[in-house]
Structure 1
Amino acid sequence: MSEPLDMVVIGSGPGGYRASIYAALRGLAVAIVERSDWGGTCLNRGCIPKKDWHHSAKTLAKSDRFAERGIAGGPLRGDLAAAWQHQEQVVDQVQDSYIKFMDRLGVRKYRGHARLDFEGNVAIEGPDAGTVAARKVILATGSRPMPLAGVEPVSGRVLTTDMLFDEPAPPAGEVIVVGSGVIGTEMAFILGQLGCSVTWLATASPMGKSSFTPQARKVLEEKLAEYGMDWQVGGRLAATRVAGDRAVAELDDGTTHEADWILLGTGREPVTDDLGLDTAGVATDAKGYVQADTARETSRAGIFAIGDCANPHQTANHAMADAEVAVKNILHQGSAEADDAAVPEVVYSAVEMARLGLNDDTAEDAGWEPAVGFTSFDTNPKALGLDADAGFTRLLVDMDEGTLLGGEIVGDNAGELVHVLTTHTDPETALARIAAGRFNHPAMAEEVLNSTETLAANWGLGPKIFEE
């Protein structure tokens, strides 16, 4: 066996790719193993294609107001088949850039299914079969659609979101979208704008079980209604079947619904089977997640786990944050700890919603005295000019010390605006840094500054925030 590498990463999604690049840029000898498509779920059937579709959906949704803006020639209409082809082009281009960047950095790439052996080496089956030894290993094997009892995916009729992007989308037609979490809330809006007639089946209101505030969920529901989206809160999906050229959804309350096809937005599970975890002494929990500590190290020293296979948040953002924590600890043991609450969560639907940190309830449970700074986009000049006046910025701080506990931004480009908060990583000084910042005018980001100044005025935090 040749000299061990510094690090082998199993899985090339956002966590695995980020870990390999982050480590290679710091001089480590790195290899990455992928059994399917480079870029994993996020690039090929998740974050990237969905955001491509979301941009189209948002443009279509706003097109009713184009005439008053002096844009003639409507109305616009969605074309799901063309949208599918467009996201494929984007995915191919991004994938090509990923591969070229890894090559430039000297990251070794192996194709095949990887398993850990007793000694912690990585045994590969497939095109690049062999055994790779490394001083450290990072598991970044991601997630897959969670199977449901009584529900059998059928190409073109009963689809997971993976299937929707892995094969050309079915004709738009009538579609049943199942689920009220992130996936269901995003895809119901997107498909509704891309020419589908959507029946949205949910067990709660959109994002009703999330950590977003009631104010945020109210804006979401108002924008969904404005764009003609409705949802039915009722029983859980108990079974699906195909009857001729129709797909039928049966709920546990006895009701049935039929459409041309069904999209399942009902959650995902970690991919941790058939990886040799037991052989290597890597523990998992009852739900199959790899157990990892705040350094993202597993029960087997030298083996780390990041992203969806180990983190129940199951977002690309958390996977990338996990990757940095793991690599930092590989470089210098004990140098970094994961803080899931500091990682933004973003939803791309009829309105964008972004949050991080604690909400009112969790802040009080943790013993803080929360105070709120709130400003709306309905008077922001940039937002008004973009027809983006729905939404707000909302900051949560400790009223005694001015410590930033959490933040929420709802509105156009919330997923970009939230970085005004995430780049100030010390919660004790974050608001002081924002208050001392310089902002473009007009800009929607100014509302983060305005929320900070509102906090200072309303809660007597001027001396701390303005460092007076």
Structure 2
Amino acid sequence: MTAQKFDMVVLGSGPGGYVAAIRAAQLGFKTAVVERAELGGICLNWGCIPTKALLRSAEVFHNMKHAADYGLVAGQLGFDLDKVVSRSRGIAAQLSGGIKHLMKKNKVTVIEGNGVLVKPGVLSVEKDGKKTEVHGTDIILATGARAKELPHLKADGELVWTYRHALTPKAVPGKLLVIGSGAIGIEFASFYNELGSDVTVVEMMDRVMPVEDEEISAFAAKSFKSQGIKIMTEASVTKLDKKAKSVVCTVEGKGGKSEQIEVDNVIIAIGIDGNVENIGLEQNKIKVDRGHVVTDEWGHTGVKGVHAIGDLTGPPWLAHKASHEGVILVEKIARDKGNKEIKDLHPMDKGNIPGCTYCRPQVASVGMTEKAAIAAGYKVNVGRFPFIGNGKAIAMGEAEGMMKTVFDAKTGELLGAHMVGAEVTEMIQGYTVARTLETTEIELMHTVFPHPTMSEMMHEAVLDAFGKALHF
């Protein structure tokens, strides 16, 4: 068997894998990526990007329905579901092709097939029944994750869906039940509700979007309910009985009280599991904990020359987290091998990773919630500012929303920032930069924000934390 030899081999071409490969090539490593499916991984092909394309269609449709609010006249309204889905799939295909171009541009070898770690430094890659060996001085595992399933909650692709099935529906369900109110569940609930589905969301925790700040979660829940989405918290689906064209869902709520809800389709969005199976972890004694590979702060597994990044290594399960982990890991490997150009390298601070949910209204956050900050022992100053106090938001017809900042009262450190409303997923990066630069309230107060913009609310939310708000 002829072996292909490289300095760096990445197993998986998702946002973590392909970015790690590009950075490795930039640093002079002879690099290969092994991929069993589409370049770009789940995020680009079946996750982040195609869902945003669907949600954009829903947003435009929403605006069409409210044309009269802007003094506009629209004709007969409707949508072509096949074309909505086709647009989403086309965008995913376009970007996957873009990754192929980037691999070629950076002289990264793409090897198609299913890769298994035989031993440190060696991958066995199988495609169409043929096996080849790929050798790499360093191997990065970036196999990502998949939708979590439970024995009583299994998807069949027809009546019971994961996110993958929900991306390519044959019809809009008349009634839809979504299990889980994290980012994936809420985004699909928002999309299908906009297209006319009667949507019910079931969440085990005591509130929707439970990782978000409680105030933001409550604000979002109120908005979802006003849009017609039914929300059941502190509840769980204990049974799914599939009929010919519907599913009877048994939902157990507070105090053990059960009720049955019959729907056309169910979306399971209860979390994800790392793709740890059948990639050679066991025989190489790579530690796995609760479905995810265990690494140190740099991405090293403890087995010489074998590393792991991204969703495979656990939360937060975010594409941008995976990409940055890939860069940090590759630069650490390069520095350890004597590259003196790599300076000021630090492990990732997960507290500076922003989270975004693209429902309507959007939700975005970075850093600690107010409750978490208090639990950590901080005395906090909290600022808030409503969208209704912002001229640009009102002019846009997007006056529903709020911003919230959490500061350390002693040092002025920005501990966290939380937003709900239009375009907040674009604005959160301002606070993320602030946290990365370790700015205090002084620098933020003296930052000039352009007028009229929605970003002015970010300034006001800082001012309010210290009793200096100007416009509310």
Scaled by the length of structure 2, the TM-score of the pair is: 0.89
Deviation, structure 1 residue 228: 2.0
Deviation, structure 1 residue 310: 0.4
CA contact (8 A) 1:328 1:336 kept: no
2:349 aligned partner: 339
In structure 2, distance between residues paired with 1:383 and 1:133: 55
In structure 1, distance between residues paired with 2:163 and 2:274: 15
Pair 1:206–1:366, CA change in 2 (3 A): closer
SS in 2 for 1:239: strand
The answer on 1:261 being equivalent to 2:261 is no
Structure 2: 5+ residue stretches without partners: 337-343
2:410 aligned partner: 400
- The answer to which of 73-82 and 270-279 deviates more is 73-82
Pair 1:125–1:247, CA change in 2 (3 A): same
2:340 aligned partner: none
2:298 alignment partner AA: A
Deviation, structure 1 residue 188: 0.9
Aligned residue pairs total 456
2:339 aligned partner: none
The one of 329, 333, 337 equivalent to 2:332 is: 329
2:134 aligned partner: 132
Cα displacement string for residues 153-193 of structure 1 (whole angstroms, at most 9, x for unaligned residues): 2232111112233x554444332222222222121111111
The one of 416, 438, 446 equivalent to 1:428 is: 438
Deviation, structure 1 residue 21: 2.1
Deviation, structure 1 residue 426: 3.7
CA contact (8 A) 2:275 2:312 kept: yes
In structure 2, distance between residues paired with 1:322 and 1:207: 29
Alignment of 1:105-254 (within 5 A): 105-126=106-127, 129-165=131-167, 167-204=168-205, 207-210=208-211, 212-233=212-233, 235-252=235-252, 253-254=257-258
Deviation, structure 1 residue 284: 0.8
In structure 2, distance between residues paired with 1:162 and 1:235: 24
Deviation, structure 1 residue 216: 0.7
The answer on 1:363 being equivalent to 2:367 is no
1:288 aligned partner: 291
Instruction: Tell me how large the CA RMSD over aligned residues is.
Output: 2.4
1:314 aligned partner: 317
Alignment of 1:79-118 (within 5 A): 79-118=80-119
1:276 aligned partner: 280
Identity over the aligned pairs, expressed in percent? 27
CA contact (8 A) 1:289 1:309 kept: yes
Pair 1:183–1:23, CA change in 2 (3 A): same
2:275 alignment partner AA: V
Pair 1:169–1:44, CA change in 2 (3 A): farther
SS in 2 for 1:255: strand
Pair 1:74–1:224, CA change in 2 (3 A): farther
The one of 351, 354, 357 equivalent to 2:364 is: 354
4+ aligned runs moved over 4 Å, structure 1: 1-4, 430-433, 456-459
In structure 2, distance between residues paired with 1:7 and 1:280: 18
Alignment of 1:29-40 (within 5 A): 29-40=30-41
In structure 1, distance between residues paired with 2:409 and 2:380: 6
CA contact (8 A) 1:284 1:290 kept: yes
CA contact (8 A) 1:11 1:34 kept: yes
- The answer to which of 53-62 and 429-438 deviates more is 429-438
In structure 2, distance between residues paired with 1:424 and 1:27: 33
SS in 1 for 2:311: helix
The one of 376, 400, 411 equivalent to 1:390 is: 400
In structure 2, distance between residues paired with 1:246 and 1:181: 24
Deviation, structure 1 residue 62: 4.0
Pair 1:430–1:296, CA change in 2 (3 A): farther
1:278 alignment partner AA: E
Deviation, structure 1 residue 224: 1.2
In structure 1, distance between residues paired with 2:124 and 2:370: 47
In structure 1, distance between residues paired with 2:418 and 2:263: 36
In structure 2, distance between residues paired with 1:428 and 1:100: 37
SS in 1 for 2:288: coil
The answer on 1:452 being equivalent to 2:455 is no
CA contact (8 A) 1:311 1:318 kept: no
Scaled by the length of structure 1, the TM-score of the pair is: 0.90
CA contact (8 A) 1:227 1:350 kept: no
